[in-house]
Amino acid sequence: MKKTAFVVFLLAAFATAGRAQESRQDISLSGTGLIEPFIASSTAVYVDSTTGYGALLSYRFMLTPNTALEANYGIDYQNNIRYYINNVDNYNVLLRTQEASGGFVRSFVFKNWNPFAEAGPAGIIFLPIRNSATRTLDAKQQTAVGAMYGAGFAYEISPSFDIRAEYRGLVTKVPTMSIPNASTNKWWNMFEPTVGVAYHF
């Protein structure tokens, strides 16, 4: 009886030790592209933009082998947003867009391939850059609340590293940045493809 109890104790200890050595967290750094679609409103306001390029830093904590919680911070270097109001008043704003988001991640395992999907809330900051490309002094910083979603895959190149590629989306109301009569009363689904490297620890 004592031998059986001792064997059970050893098995439990080894299982606990093995679980403690599993990678439960990872951090990733990715390059991003931020694509904001053309918007035409019923109020004769049109919004167009150029593509922004930047970086995304993400942290994941594994709840189970297939589920995780994720926190993200992203920033793009700069892009232009153009407002056309009544085909007369045209405003060009050079800005930097920042993202802080969190999500629930569900992943699947197929050998070295790990497809995943995620979704969660997001806060987005539109920050005008004051230089000659911003043609209006009325543009002001705007913080918007929205949602983040995405799907992609990770390819394991070693027990500690994987390559991660994802299509992400950011949903929020089209910003006005305090420009008079620039409201479209519409939502943006901003596209954000990402490619990067993750480190597991």
Which residues neighbour 2 within 8 Å (Cβ) at sequence distance 6 or greater?
none
172 half-sphere exposure, CB direction, 13 A CA radius: 26
Q: What angle do CA 16, 104, 150 make, to 5 degrees?
A: 130
- Please write the tens of the pLDDT for every residue from 59-118: 999 999 999 999 999 999 999 999 999 877 788 899 999 999 999 999 998 989 999 999
Report the distance separating Cα 22 and Cα 24, nearest Å.
6
The domains found in the chain, sorted by start residue, are 23-200 (2.40.160.20)
Cβ(100)–Cβ(72) below 8 Å: yes
Asked whether the predicted pLDDT for residue 13 surpasses 50, the reply is no
Report the distance separating Cα 150 and Cα 92, nearest Å.
30
Name the pairing type of β-strands 79-85 and 142-156. Answer: unpaired
Structure tokens at 195: 């490619």
Question: From the CB of residue 48, how many other CB atoms can be counted at a distance below 10 Å?
Answer: 15
Asked whether the predicted pLDDT for residue 8 surpasses 80, the reply is no
For the entire predicted model, the pTM comes to: 0.84
Report the distance separating Cα 83 and Cα 130, nearest Å.
17
Band the pLDDT of 5: cuts 50, 70, 90. Answer: very low
Cβ(107)–Cβ(67) below 8 Å: yes
Q: What is the pLDDT at residue 22?
A: 64
